[in-house]
Structure 1
Amino acid sequence: MSTQTLPGFDLAKVRADFPTLHQEVNGKPLVYFDNAATSQKPQLVIDRLDQYYARENSNVHRGVHTLSQQATDAYEHTRSLVQQMINAQHQHEIIYTKGTTEGINLIAFSFGQKYIKEGDEIIISTMEHHSNIVPWQLLCERTGAKLKVVPIFESGELDFEAYKNMLSEKTKLVSMVYISNSLGTINPMPEIIKLAHERDIPVLVDAAQVVPHMAVDVQELDADFMVFSGHKMFGPTGTGILYGKEKWLNDLPPWMGGGDMIKVVRFDHTTYSDLPHKFEAGTPNIAGAIGLGAGIEYINSIGYDAISAWEHELLAYGTEQLGTIPDIRFVGTAKEKASVISFLIGDIHPYDAGTILDQLGIAIRTGHHCTQPLMHHLQIPGTMRASFAFYNTKEEIDRLVEGIHRVKKMFG
C-alpha cells in the first residue's frame, strides 16, 4: 500500500481498522471509492454496537435501573462529543435525527409552520441534493412561498453576485450545501451566511459532505442550523444531527409528537419538554447514536488536520492521473474542492463504465447522485464519481485509472 508522507499519520494502520476494505469483489481486491454515498466503518464502531446490544440494551431517559442509566449515559455522551466536534455553545443545541434528510425536513416543517407564508422566498442553489430541494418544494406547495435557485458557473462554483442580488425582504431562509456531493465544490459558506445575516435572514447549512473531511465551527460560521449524517462519517446508518441555535430551537414548534418530548400530557393540552428532547419524540436509534459517538472518537484519534491533508493529496493525485486519460471530461473544476472527482469518458454511459469497473473490484458511484436538477442544468444524464476517504491509497487510484483504460478499450 501507499507509503504516506504525513507525520503522525500511519495509512497502513488506519486501513487495518476497516474490515470491509480487506476483501475481494469479483475475485479482485476491493477498491472503495463511494465514500460520498457512505463511508466504511472502523472495527471499534462495529464493536461498540455489539457491546450495546450484548450488555447495555435498554431504553434511555425512562428508567432508574442500571442498564437504562448506562444506555442513557452512553447516548448522551455522544451528544457531548458532537457539541465539542462542531463547537456548539450548548449541548442541548444538538438534536438527534436519522440523517441529513430528516434534519432538513424537520426545519422545513417547524420553521415553515411558524414563519413561512404566501409570497415569502427560500433560497437554495443549483447544486443541491434532492434532500435540500424537495422539502422546500413541499413547504412552498403548502404555503404559497417561492423557491429561488442560485445559479452556478461552468466550473461548478456558486454565482455569488447572483446570490447577493437574490436576497431581499421577501427572503425568509437560505438553505445551502457546504460541499457539493456531485461536484466536490466547497462553497464560501462564511460569506454566504454573513451576507444573509446582514438582512437578518437565517441560514441552514447542509454539512453532510463536510464533517467526514474537515473541522466545522458553528459559532465561527454563525450558522443558524446545520445538518449532517452519521453514516458518512464512519458511524452507523440511520443516524444524524441537527444543530440549531438555542434561540431558534426554543422558538420553533415540535414536528413530531409522542413519548420523551413532553412534560405533561392531558386530553385538553400538552406541554413540551425542554431542548433537546422537544424534537426527539419516541424511542430513538440508541445503538446508532452510541455507535456514532465511537465514530467521532475515531475521527478525533486521527485528527482533522491529518484527514484533510491526506485527502487533499489523494484529490491532487487522482485529478492528475485521471487527467492523463484521453477523452476524459471533469465535471466540477472549482478552485476549492473536497475529495470528490466527477467525470465522463467520451460517449461511454456512466452506468456501463461503472458495471465494468465493478467486475474489476472497483466501486465508484454512477448516475445523477440525487442531484437531477444539477445534471439537467449541465445537460448530462449523470457522471462517474470517485470519492475518497482518508483510508484510500494512491495505488487504488492507479487501479481506477487502469480500469478506465480497460473500459475505453472495451468500447473501442
Structure 2
Amino acid sequence: MGQLAGAELFTVVPEGSITTPKGFTAGGLHSGLKKSTRHDLGAIICSVPAAAAGVYTLNAFQAAPIKVTKQSIASSGLLRAVVVNSGNANACTGEQGEQDAFQMRNHFAEVFAVPEEQVAVASTGVIGELLKMDKLIGGIDQLPTHLGDDRNAAEQFCQAILTTDLVQKMICVQVEIDGRAVHIAGAAKGSGMIAPNMATMLGFVTTDAKIEGTVLETLLRQVTDLSFNMITVDGDTSTNDMLVAMASGLAENTSLTEAHPDLAKFVAGLRHVCEHLAKGIARDGEGATKLVEVQVQGAVSDEAAQAIAKTIVGSSLVKSAMFGADANWGRIIAAIGRAGQPVQVDTVDIALGSIQTLQQSKPVVFDEEAALEYLKGDTIIIHVDLHMADGAAKAWGCDLTYDYVRINAAYRT
C-alpha cells in the first residue's frame, strides 16, 4: 500500500467536495438538538444505490447508530444515504436508544422515498442521553429543502457533524481510470477522544468510481490502518467512531478489482483523502496548537514502526514538550523503549525537523535556539531511525495544552 500513494497518481481538486463525485447531494440544518444555533443534522444522498463499506470503533460499547448502519450495509452492500446528527451520541442508551436509531433511519427513508435498509445512521455528541426525537424528526422533515450538489451544500453538511471541532474537514481528489475522470471525496469530524483504532470521529467518503462493495471494504480497511488508525489526541477511543464509503459507479469505468490496471490510482487517491482527513483531525485536537507528525524508519517491520510511532505521538510527556517548545528528546527515546517492539539500544537516531538531537543513541550538540524556533511552529515532524531493517510508518497527533483540560472539564455544560 505504501508504494501506491504517489502524488503523481491523483490530483487534488481545490474546490471539490463530497458532492463533486457524480450522483451525490448533501446538506445540513439546525434542528434543535444543540443548545446553540449551529447545525446539528445533515445528510449525504446518492441518486442511485451506491456500493457501500464501513469501518467501526473497536470500543466494546458501540452506540446504537453503529448497530443500525452495520445492519443496513450487511443487508445488501448498498446505500442510498447517510443521515447524521451531532450534539447527542445516542450511546449507552439501551433498548430505547436502538429504537430511536431505527426510527431515525426509517423516518428518513420515508421522507426521501428510499429503502430503509439503504440508509446509514451516525450520531456524535454527549454519551448517555436519549435523543430529542421530536426535534430530530422535525429536522428530517426539513432536510429535503436544504440539500444541494454544490460546495456550499457540502459545507452545510460538514458544519452539521461538528462537536468540539474548530474547523471543517473536507477534500476531493481526481484520478483517471480507463481514461475517465473519477472523483474521490471525503468529509470528517473529530477533535477529542481520538486514539488509534479509529478515533472519536465520523468519516464519510463519496466516489463515482464503479467498484464492488467487497473490494471497497477491503481497500477502506487497508487505508484506514495507514491513516485514521495512526492518529491520536488523548488516548481515548469513542463509542461512535464510524467511517462509511459510498460509490455511485456513475463515472462508468470498468469495475475496479484487484486485477484492474488502474487500481493503484484509486488506492492512492483514497489513501490521500483519508490521510488528509486524519491529519486534519489531529491538527484540530481539542485545545491543540500544533500538528505533530512522527516518522519512524529502520524498524524490523511496518507493524513495529506503527506501534513505535503511535507510542511516541500518544505520549503525554512528548505532547507536553511539543506544547512547551522543549527539545526534550529524552521523552521521545523513552517512548520508543516502552513501545514493546524490538530496538537496538545503541543505533537510534532522533531529529526534530532537520535538527539532529541523537545519533547512534548518543546525544548530539545542537542549536537550542534553532530548535526552540522550530518547535514554536504549527507543524512539527519527529524523525526516528532505528537502523535495524526496512519497517517504516507515520503517525499524527497534537500537543497537549491547558485548553484540552478546560474543554473536557466542562464538556457537558
The alignment's TM-score, normalised by the length of structure 1, stands at 0.25
Q: Which has the higher helix share?
A: 1
Bigger relative contact order, structure 1 or 2 (CA pairs below 8 A, ≥6 apart): 1
Q: Which has the higher strand share?
A: 2
The alignment's TM-score, normalised by the length of structure 2, stands at 0.25
